[in-house]
Amino acid sequence: MLRALLIFAVAALPAAAADKPAKTERFTYRVIGLFSKDREKDLKAAFAEMPGLTLLSVDFDEAELTVAFAPSKAFPGTKPEQLVERVNDKLRTASGHTFGVKSRRTVPRDKLRRVNIPVAGLDCKACCLAVYEIVAAIDGVDQATASFKDGQVTALIDPKRTDRTKLEDALRKRGVAIGKRAN
């Protein structure tokens, strides 16, 4: 009888371990596509479509978000270095490819330079997203915003990798009218 109980107890161990809840962890990423504060509502709606991932906070000024999830449950078999890519894929799908995530910035903020470029023709959210995507895709742009209310694009750039001229040239190539320089 004792032997039968031991066999039952040993057989139940893997099942008990499998029932153990996965450990939820917090991760902070750079958020891509957050070109204006009113887009936070859209970001929250995208996270509502992603079961297993909880949006904890959004820091617009730093273009970062903090999310909580259990990696082994949300992305089974994923190596830690692949998590940012998996979260990015899931967020892009949930948001119709208007949001994404990247690893946190590596250049200290005090080493970045702010560039403001006045632009014409930003009259809706879609226009702002298009202009934002042009600027944000340039190597050396750490963060960007686009505002139809202000009529400008703002970028935090690494001056060792890009400059205002490269941003303006990229915008002009895509047909964006550049206004007089603000800075």
- Token look-up 């089974």 returns 76
User: Where among 83, 102, 121 does a domain terminate?
Assistant: 102
In a domain, residue 52? The reply is yes
Long-range contacts, 157-163 (Cβ 8 Å, 24+): 157/112, 157/113, 157/114, 157/115, 158/107, 158/111, 158/112, 159/112, 159/113, 162/138
pLDDT cut 70: percent of the chain above it: 87
- Is residue 28 domain-shared with residue 90, that is, in the same domain? yes
- Is residue 92 domain-shared with residue 158, that is, in the same domain? no
- Is residue 82 domain-shared with residue 37, that is, in the same domain? yes
142 CA to centre of own chain: 12
In a domain, residue 15? The reply is no
CATH (domain of 116): 3.30.70.100
Parallel, antiparallel, or unpaired for β 141-147 and 113-120? unpaired
d(CA 22, CA 75): 11
How do residues 55-88 score in pLDDT, each as one tens digit? 999 999 999 999 999 999 999 999 999 999 999 9
Report whether pLDDT(161) > 60. yes
> pLDDT band for position 125 (50/70/90)?
confident
d(CA 75, CA 160): 36
- Is residue 168 domain-shared with residue 97, that is, in the same domain? no
Query: Is-above-0.85 flag for pTM?
Result: no
How many CB atoms are closer than 10 A to CB 21? 7
Report whether pLDDT(19) > 80. no
d(CA 73, CA 95): 21
